[in-house]
A and B are shown apart, each in its own frame.
Chain A
Amino acid sequence: MNRLSAAGLARGGVVMCALVAFPFVFSQHWVLNMAFFVLMYAGLAQAWNLLGGYSGYISLGHVAFFGLGAYSEAILFSHIGIGSRGFLPLLVLPAIGIAVALTSVPVAWVALRTRHMTFAIVTLTLLFVVQQLAFNLRGLTHGSQGVSVPSPTFSLYERPFYLALLAIFALATLVTWHVRRDRLGLMLFAIRDDEDKARGVGVRATEAKVFTFAVSVGMTAMIGAVWAYYIGYVYPQFAIDPLVMIGSLLPVFLGGAGTVWGPVLGAFILVPAQQWLAYRYGASELYLIAYAAVFLAIILLLPRGILPSIADMVARRRDGRTTPRLPVGSAREEIAS
Chain B
Amino acid sequence: MHLLVQAVILGILIGGVYALMASGLTLVFGIMRVINVAQGAMVILGAYLSYTLFSSVGIDPLLSILLIAPVMFALGVGIHRVFIRALRAESGEEMSLLVTWATALAIEGVLSVTYTTNLRSTIPGYAQRSWIILGYRVAEVRVFGFVISVVILSALSLLLARTRFGRSVRATVQNPTSAKLLGVDADRVSALGFGIGISTAAAAGAVFGIIYPFNPGSHYDLISRLLSIVVLGGLGSLGGAVVAALLLGVGESVVAVMISPSWSSFVFFIVLIVILVFRPQGLFGVRERGAL
Contact = CB atoms under 8 A, between A and B. Distances in A.
B70 interface: no
Given A128-B269, A129-B266, A291-B105, A296 B99 contact: yes
B84 to A, nearest CB: 10
Interface stretch (B87-95, B141-149, B152-160): B87-95
Nearest to A253: B98
Nearest to A249: B98
A106 B182 CA distance: 46
Nearest to A287: B109
Given A128-B269, A246-B101, A292-B105, 8 more contacts: A56-B94, A117-B29, A125-B227, A132-B262, A293-B106, A300-B83, A303-B95, A304-B91
A110 B227 contact: no
Nearest to B96: A117
A147 interface: no
Contacts of B93: 116-117
B87 A303 contact: yes
Contacts of B101: 60, 246, 295
Most buried by B among A113, A118, A132: A118
A125 B83 CA distance: 24
B97 A120 contact: yes
Contacts of A293: 106
A13 B101 CA distance: 37
A45 to B, nearest CB: 14
A118 B231 CA distance: 8
A121 B35 contact: yes
B189 to A, nearest CB: 19
B112 interface: yes
B102 interface: yes
Given A136-B262, A289-B109, A125 B269 contact: yes
A46 B103 CA distance: 25
Interface of A: 56, 58, 60, 110-111, 113-114, 116-118, 120-122, 124-125, 128-129, 132, 135-136, 242, 246, 249, 253, 284-289, 291-293, 295-296, 299-300, 303-304, 328
B228 A125 contact: yes
A288 B101 CA distance: 12
A292 B102 contact: yes
Interface stretch (B9-17, B45-53, B130-138, B272-280): B272-280
Nearest to A122: B276
Nearest to A135: B262
Contact of A121 (B83, B220, B231, B266): B231
Contacts of A292: 102-103, 105-106, 109
Interface residues of B, number: 46
B269 A295 contact: no
Contact of A286 (B102, B113, B269): B113
Given A118-B235, A125-B228, A284-B113, A113 B277 contact: yes
Contacts of A253: 98
28 contacts: A110-B273, A111-B276, A113-B280, A117-B93, A117-B94, A118-B231, A118-B276, A120-B94, A120-B97, A122-B272, A124-B224, A125-B268, A128-B269, A129-B269, A253-B98, A288-B105, A289-B105, A289-B110, A291-B105, A292-B102, A292-B105, A292-B106, A296-B103, A299-B87, A299-B91, A299-B95, A304-B90, A328-B90
Contacts of A124: 37, 223-224, 227
B25 to A, nearest CB: 10
B273 A117 contact: no
A289 B106 contact: yes
Nearest to A127: B224
Nearest to A290: B109
A272 to B, nearest CB: 20
Contact of A289 (B113, B231, B262, B280): B113
Interface string B97-134: 11101110110111011000100000000000000000
Nearest to B221: A128
A285 B223 CA distance: 21
A286 B90 contact: no
Contacts of B224: 124-125, 128
A296 B213 CA distance: 30
B286 interface: no
B97 A285 contact: no
Contact of B272 (A58, A125, A284, A299): A125
Contacts of A289: 105-106, 109-110, 113
A132 B265 contact: yes
Nearest to B231: A121
B102 A110 contact: no
A118 B29 CA distance: 11
B95 to A, nearest CB: 6
Nearest to A250: B98
A253 B97 CA distance: 13
Contacts of A249: 98
Contacts of B235: 117-118
A180 B89 CA distance: 27
Contacts of B269: 125, 128-129, 132
A253 B266 CA distance: 32
Nearest to B91: A303
- Residue of A113, A114, A120, A125 most packed against chain B (CB within 10 A): A125
Interface string B251-275: 0000000000011011011001100
B86 interface: yes
B275 to A, nearest CB: 10
Contact of B94 (A58, A114, A288, A296): A58
